[in-house]
Amino acid sequence: MSTAPRPDDRGRDRDAEGRARNARPRDGLGRPLPYGTDGVERQPEGVTRTPDETVTQAQALLDAGRPFHAHEVFEDAWKSGPDDERDLWKGLAQLAVGLTHSARGNLTGGARLLRRGAGAIGGGKWGERPYGIDVDGLVAWAQELARSLEGGGSRVDAAEHAPRLRGGN
């Protein structure tokens, strides 16, 4: 039996169990493209990675201008990791989605998500550099980008504005 998503009677993609699975191709910023269009390779869902693998893979995607896809890597970490780390990974995912919205031109939503993500990871609750992540640098990066967007900034280039997860922002 195929596990590939298939349209239901209303044209929505569903897996064999009837759960929603959007099979449309997507562009580098995660926007759905028409069926039959060549999109970028999607991140597989539900992958369990070590924290180091998560940070390394997410950084590569951010550097490539694919923050939406980096968000999916962080989402896997928050769903499969220890409960006491959920807010860290969720906050990092929010930063990636904030950059995604900013690159798509949704400046208000981008700034809001950047601030939310910064709030989730900031405040010193993770100790010094969990898994090598420069939390303070990321918070400063997110706040600066959010201020720029709110101050009349314009759509950003995702690769050019990608944060350095392990420092150098």
Q: Which domains, and CATH codes, for the chain?
A: 1-42 (no CATH), 51-150 (1.10.3450)
- pTM for the full model? 0.85
| C-alpha span between 45 and 77 (Å, rounded) | 11
* Cα-based distances in Å from 145 to 16, 51, 91, 138: 42, 26, 16, 10
What does the block give as tokens for 158? 């995702």
Decide if 69 contacts 54 (C-beta within 8 A): no
Query: Which pLDDT tens digits describe the chain residue by residue (169 residues)?
Result: 444 555 556 666 666 666 655 677 888 888 888 888 888 887 778 889 999 999 999 999 999 999 999 999 999 999 999 999 999 999 999 999 999 999 999 999 999 999 999 999 999 898 879 999 999 999 999 999 999 999 988 999 999 999 999 987 7
